Amino acid sequence: MASAAEVARPDFARNSLQVSVTGKLTEQRFNDGVYYSVLLMASADEYSPPMPFEVRSRKSLGSRGEVVTVRCQLGGYFKRTYNVTDQNTGEIRRVRPIVLTLDAVED
């Protein structure tokens, strides 16, 4: 018999939150045993800017300027909430930013 928590929550297999990211390695820093690598994704068209992503990993993803493909685990968390006042109406809204994380899947 399934518990109530299992029934209420959809089946999220760990692999269902994995993505493959390909981009040019533009920056890389090392802190507390973790590499933080910035990858620039190709633009969708000639008028769009390239999209930057930061990938955390235990190993270096490559050298600067190299195009790399990395399998990543999606994650995220909420940042601290804050209030924003609309300049036109004066309405105060509460904002709760979400941060998306990409961690390299290392076999």
Report the pLDDT value the prediction gives residue 93, as an integer from 0 to 100: 95
**Ordered structural domains, the chain, with CATH:** 14-104 (2.40.50.140)
Q: Tell me the pLDDT of the chain averaged across its residues.
A: 88
- For residue 107, give both structure tokens: 């076999």
Model pLDDT for residues 74-91, shown as the tens digit of each residue: 999 999 999 999 999 999
Which band of pLDDT confidence, cut at 50, 70 and 90, is reported for residue 107? confident
User: pLDDT-based confidence at 13, cuts 50/70/90?
Assistant: low
pLDDT reading at 4 higher than 60: no
Read off φ and ψ for residue 9, nearest 5 degrees: -100, 130
Across-strand partners of 101?
A: 75
Q: In this model, does residue 40 exceed pLDDT 60?
A: yes
Q: Taking the CB of residue 70, how many other CB atoms lie within 10 A of it?
A: 22
